[in-house]
């Protein structure tokens, strides 16, 4: 039993090979050192996975970890982290879902779950108020996520279960298979859904009504929590914009600045951006707002198509990243097709960013005559702008049919097989396809993507500070330090469990008083600015060390050749390019700030000692 607030003090360990479930107590020292979410996930993965394992073999593990704010009254803290060695990148992967699963797991009595081994037949995990069972899922295998969710609720006789599910994408080990949570949310990135699929684990269903985390100091916390609530709800811009558009509003602003990834990043302006802009969705597609646990912002949109070929299609969103990946990146200007693609990915269990980027890559390969049409195995011509081809390819990928067998492995592996220079326009970092924020148009993101432990993710280094003009997006000056500071705040965000939507209230750059006060009020761990910075550094370095153990160092802190060799050809940001020499300069400065060896990019022994990561030193410096 932990003395700290914010925790139930227990993880479930589920061994699918042995059909065995045990409860494990969280030690206070472990809590103090890693705190939650991101920290727990990184610590378990590094300690429990040997280096070099097959990500789709039984030695890999899927970890679910909540943060200390999960299930507490702190505003907009619904995130649950999923962690595994990624089949897409071969490195550390964390992906976070909103919704209610995180709070529900706390209310069921647990801070997290470790899933290991391999089941010889399809199963799902049922966690209900302190009791966990492995249940048969043979009848669910092959079903989409929506039908699976419905059937599990029916079987368990309780429609209030919160369920994380894989679809055919995960079953077929698509390297970017997503985990779909409560039909509406996703832990999409990096293929953790495929890791579930490799274990024959179809779903994790959670119901909790009997437990809740205690608050360490309710008097201290009340004032801080109220201030945070006021800060968020008084922000008219945030509240109104998120309610009307969700994240879909980013399309117009990126188009206006000429940094909207288009035609597989051959361009960064899209002539028909207005057709897929925020208003196109808000006026014609979005119906009502949905909220995650404890969130007044309600940025998720319930949506439907009212006319045309896809009339009566009901779904959620789409969010900006999906509008980018299935819209401008594939030169598709039809909101209904973007929504159809989004819905297919949610049902089949695919990451919409990686799926869209991979399809755009395939379209460019076709147009450059690197892959003949016959190999695609689809009716429509796979050229940019062909909406039918886009939708056909999603199915092919999920089912690994025809060209889908190749594309299911992501652009890095597909380009390695296709060759013929296709590596130059395979848009990934460390194997993870890039999100929709320009690596050429923001110098901070040039470095941010390159050094992200996940790969091509926009969730570590955030573009928002450059986007809003607080930092000049066209200059490299100060960007290594900005990366370090923003990464510190995003690590703490993912460790505590609050959402990106309220980053402005907690602070986006560096460790803030709000982070310290909330964490101390909830948990009773006595953090100050220095010790919370140390925590952020520790977790970031632990993730980095995981990747180092897998053989990843400075050579993988790079960008797709397209971004380093081809300037943005047109529009307001024309001429911007991620010059290799600029990246190298920023890397040197960044490594110095991080305490990493400049030549190799590996954390030094002294740095790891400062961060009290002795178990990492033992592994990385054992020779």
Partner 1 sequence: MVKDMAVNIKVKIKLFDLLANLAGKKEIIFDIPLNTSLEDVIQLLFNSYPEVKNLLVNEDGKYTSFLLVYNNSVELNSQNYKSFPVEDNSEIMLILPGVGG
Q: Are 177 and 230 in contact (CB under 8 A)?
A: no
Question: DSSP string spanning 404-425?
Answer: HHHHTTHHHHHHHHH-TTGGGG
State residue 283 phi and psi, 5-degree precision.
Answer: -80, -30
For residue 587, give every residue at least 6 positions away whose Cβ sits within 8 Å of its Cβ, in sequence order, or none: 447, 450, 451, 554, 557, 601
Q: Between residues 95 and 128, which has the closer beta carbon with respect to partner 1? A: 95
Q: Which uninterrupted H or E stretch holds 308?
A: none
Q: Are 480 and 447 in contact (CB under 8 A)?
A: yes
Q: At what angle do helices 352-367 and 335-348 cross, to 10 degrees?
A: 120
Give least dist CB 229 to partner 1, A: 16
Q: Between residues 36 and 98, which has the closer beta carbon with respect to partner 1? A: 98
Give least dist CB 435 to partner 1, A: 9
Give least dist CB 243 to partner 1, A: 10
Q: Between residues 120 and 237, which has the closer beta carbon with respect to partner 1? A: 237
Q: Between residues 122 and 193, which has the closer beta carbon with respect to partner 1? A: 193
Residues that bind partner 1 (CB under 8 A): 96, 234-238, 240-242, 244-254, 256-258, 277-279, 282, 299, 319-320, 459, 464, 467-474, 499-501, 503-504, 572
Q: Between residues 358 and 573, which has the closer beta carbon with respect to partner 1? A: 573
For residue 395, give every residue at least 6 positions away whose Cβ sits within 8 Å of its Cβ, in sequence order, or none: 344, 348, 401, 404
Give least dist CB 303 to partner 1, A: 16
Q: Are 394 and 348 in contact (CB under 8 A)?
A: yes
For residue 369, give every residue at least 6 positions away whose Cβ sits within 8 Å of its Cβ, in sequence order, or none: none
For residue 98, give every residue at least 6 positions away whose Cβ sits within 8 Å of its Cβ, in sequence order, or none: 78, 79, 181, 185, 292, 295, 300, 499
Give least dist CB 352 to partner 1, A: 13
Q: Between residues 316 and 501, which has the closer beta carbon with respect to partner 1? A: 501
**E strands, 271-360, where?**
286-290, 300-304, 314-316
Q: Are 237 and 134 in contact (CB under 8 A)?
A: no
Q: State both tokens at 7.
A: 């925790």
Q: Between residues 273 and 389, which has the closer beta carbon with respect to partner 1? A: 273
For residue 431, give every residue at least 6 positions away whose Cβ sits within 8 Å of its Cβ, in sequence order, or none: 86, 88, 89, 90, 91, 410, 412, 413, 455
Give least dist CB 281 to partner 1, A: 10
Give least dist CB 277 to partner 1, A: 7
Give least dist CB 568 to partner 1, A: 13
Helices (H), 383-528: 387-399, 404-407, 410-418, 443-451, 464-467, 479-496, 503-506, 513-523
Give least dist CB 57 to partner 1, A: 30
Give least dist CB 125 to partner 1, A: 26
Question: ∠319-322-327 over CA atoms, to 5°?
Answer: 120
Total length of the chain:
623
Give least dist CB 234 to partner 1, A: 8
Question: ∠501-502-505 over CA atoms, to 5°?
Answer: 155
Burial class (CB in 10 A: 0-12, 13-18, 19+), 8: buried
Q: Between residues 69 and 137, which has the closer beta carbon with respect to partner 1? A: 69
What is the Cα–Cα distance from 397 to 112, expressed in whole angstroms? 31
Q: Between residues 474 and 592, which has the closer beta carbon with respect to partner 1? A: 474
Q: Between residues 235 and 619, which has the closer beta carbon with respect to partner 1? A: 235
Give least dist CB 275 to partner 1, A: 14
Q: Between residues 298 and 383, which has the closer beta carbon with respect to partner 1? A: 298
Q: Between residues 314 and 477, which has the closer beta carbon with respect to partner 1? A: 477
What is the Cα–Cα distance from 327 to 271, expressed in whole angstroms? 12
């Amino acid at each position: 039993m932990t003395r700290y607030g914010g925790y139930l003090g227990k993880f479930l360990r589920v061994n699918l090979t042995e059909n065995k479930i045990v409860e494990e107590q969280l030690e206070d020292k472990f809590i103090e050192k890693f705190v939650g979410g991101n920290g727990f996930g990184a610590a378990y993965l590094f300690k429990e996975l040997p280096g070099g394992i097959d990500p789709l073999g039984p030695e890999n593990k899927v970890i679910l970890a909540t943060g200390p704010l999960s299930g507490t009254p702190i505003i907009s803290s619904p995130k649950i982290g999923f962690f595994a060695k990624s089949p897409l990148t071969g490195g550390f992967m964390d992906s976070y879902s909103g919704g209610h699963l995180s709070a529900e797991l706390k209310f069921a009595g647990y801070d997290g779950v470790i899933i290991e081994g391999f089941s010889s037949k399809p199963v799902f995990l049922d966690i209900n108020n302190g009791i966990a069972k492995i249940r048969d899922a043979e009848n669910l295998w092959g079903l989409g996520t929506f039908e699976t969710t419905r059937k599990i609720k029916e079987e368990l006789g309780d429609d209030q279960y919160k369920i994380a599910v894989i679809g055919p994408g995960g079953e077929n080990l698509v390297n970017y298979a997503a985990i779909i949570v409560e039909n509406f949310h996703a832990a999409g990135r990096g293929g953790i859904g495929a890791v579930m699929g490799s274990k024959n684990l179809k779903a994790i269903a959670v119901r909790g009504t009997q437990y809740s985390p205690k608050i360490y100091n309710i008097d201290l916390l009340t004032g801080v929590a109220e201030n945070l609530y006021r800060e968020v709800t008084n922000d008219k811009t945030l509240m109104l914009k998120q309610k009307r558009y969700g994240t879909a509003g980013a399309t117009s602003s990126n188009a206006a600045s000429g940094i909207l990834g288009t035609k597989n990043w051959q361009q960064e302006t899209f002539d028909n951006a207005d057709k897929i802009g925020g208003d196109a969705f808000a006026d014609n597609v979005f119906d009502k707002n949905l909220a995650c646990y404890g969130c007044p912002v309600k940025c998720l949109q319930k949506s439907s198509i009212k006319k045309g070929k896809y009339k009566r299609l009901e779904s959620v969103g789409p969010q900006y990243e999906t509008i980018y990946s299935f819209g401008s990146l594939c030169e598709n200007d039809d909101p209904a097709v973007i929504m159809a693609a989004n819905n297919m990915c949610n049902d089949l269990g695919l990451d919409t960013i990686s799926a869209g980027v991979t399809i755009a890559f395939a379209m460019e390969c076709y147009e450059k005559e690197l892959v003949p049409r016959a190999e695609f195995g689809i009716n429509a011509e796979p050229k940019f702008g062909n909406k039918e081809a886009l939708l056909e390819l999603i199915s092919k990928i999920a089912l690994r049919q025809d060209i889908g067998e190749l594309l299911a492995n992501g652009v890095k592996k597909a380009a390695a097989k296709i060759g013929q220079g296709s590596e130059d326009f395979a848009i990934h970092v460390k194997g993870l396809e890039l999100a929709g924020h320009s690596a050429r148009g923001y110098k901070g993101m040039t470095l941010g993507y390159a050094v992200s432990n996940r790969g091509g993710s926009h969730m570590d280094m955030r573009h928002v500070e450059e986007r809003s003009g607080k930092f000049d997006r066209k200059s490299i000056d100060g960007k290594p330090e900005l990366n370090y500071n923003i990464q510190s705040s995003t690590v703490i965000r993912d460790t505590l469990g609050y959402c990106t939507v309220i980053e402005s209230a907690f602070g986006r750059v560096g460790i803030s008083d709000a982070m310290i006060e909330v964490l101390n009020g909830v948990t009773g761990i006595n953090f100050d600015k220095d010790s919370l910075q140390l925590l952020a550094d520790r977790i970031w370095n632990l993730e980095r060390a995981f990747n180092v153990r897998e053989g990843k160092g400075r050579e993988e802190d790079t960008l797709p050749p397209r971004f380093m060799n081809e300037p943005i050809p047109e529009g307001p940001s024309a001429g911007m390019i991620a010059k290799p020499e600029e990246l190298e300069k920023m890397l040197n400065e960044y490594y110095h700030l991080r305490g990493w060896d400049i030549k190799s990019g590996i954390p030094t022994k002294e740095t790891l000692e400062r961060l009290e990561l002795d178990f990492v030193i033992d592994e990385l410096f054992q020779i």
